[in-house]
Amino acid sequence: YDDRDGQIWMDGKLVDWRGANVHLLTHALHYASSVFEGERAYNGKIFKSREHSERLRKSAELVGFEIPYSVDEIEAAKQQVLTASGLKDAYVRALAWRGAGEDMGVASARNPVRMAIAVWEWGAYYGDAKMKGAKLDISKWKRPSPETIPVHAKAAGLYMICTMSKHEAEAKGCSDALFMDYRGYVAEATGANIFFVKDGEVHTPDPDCFLNGLTRQTVIGMLKDRQIPVHERHIMPEELEGFEQCWLTGTAAEVTPVGQIGDYTFEVGALTREIAEDYEKLVRS
């Protein structure tokens, strides 16, 4: 990803893609002091752009720093880099972090907060699983308690176990891993929320210790518009056996059917397909 033509927005201006570098003593590289967003543009327009910019600023606040750009400035910067890319359908990655400077210990009050936005093409996140249903491994790692870490921030530190779990899942031939939380309830995948269908009703974990994804919120709205009951609640892993359908939601993942979790199998059913198609229509409307 580093060696290509193009431009990246960095600290207020567009810079050459290959020259968008930071110093080795960047605080974030050592201590995970960074927050980010994953967004998608469809037909040249970023879906829920403002909500993503607001969440980025909120994530920074939750991990203790302030992004030196307002939501309006972030919006303008995203549009600038998207236009410069010439792409209509694109993935947008906004990132803010504690940079290099006076401090090199755990404290970083004197270092600048920096920000960048890169845009590139990113097709279906789970490849052909989007059609036939993804296979998920169950991670041995648990989503941590809200008393351990700011669980609602989209912050780099929370992704350490995601990368580890996803690598382990891929080594077993799975597309992704599903986390249980610190209490043993079903939580989410490494970069997407999860939904289940049973007897015409939908069940999804209460996001009390992980990201309440924007796609998750959009899909819940779509289900409610269809008068389909949605239960946001604690789900025990034993319940997986009784669910008929399952899908993942996320900006990158969009709506991706799940065919298997561990030994449990699910059909890629009518509701899953309809929600996936409706989501596709909505983001492009």
Residues taking part in catalysis: 154
The region of 77-85, 109-117, 205-213, 255-263 touching ligand PMP under the rule CB under 6 A is 205-213
Which residues 218-277 are close enough to bind ligand PMP by CB under 6 A? 249-251
Q: How many CA atoms lie within 13 A of 207 on its CB side?
A: 19
In whole angstroms, the minimum distance from the beta carbon of 112 to ligand PMP comes to 26
Number of residues that bind ligand PMP (CB under 6 A): 15
Distance in angstroms (rounded) separating the CA atoms of residues 40 and 221: 19
- If one counts every other C-beta atom within 10 angstroms of the C-beta of residue 271, the result is 18
The region of 58-66, 170-178, 211-219, 224-232 touching ligand PMP under the rule CB under 6 A is 211-219
**Tokens 């269908």 identify what position?**
197
- The tokens for 30 are 């050592």
The residue from 77, 134, 169, 211 that contacts ligand PMP (CB under 6 A) is: 211
**Which is closer to ligand PMP, CB of 161 or CB of 240?**
161
DSSP assignment of 129-195 equals HHHH-EEEEEEEEEEPPTTTS-TTS-BGGGGHHHHHHHHHHHHTT-SEEEEEETTS-EEEESSSEEE
**CB of 215 closer than 8 Å to CB of 248:** no
**Which is closer to ligand PMP, CB of 99 or CB of 216?**
216
Which residues 130-159 are close enough to bind ligand PMP by CB under 6 A? 154
* 205 belongs to the binding site for ligand PMP (CB under 6 A): no
Binding mask 174-193 for ligand PMP (x = CB under 6 A): --------------x--xxx
Question: Strand 201-205 and strand 245-250: pairing?
Answer: unpaired
Where on the chain is the footprint of ligand PMP (CB under 6 A)? 38, 154, 188, 191-193, 210-211, 213-216, 249-251
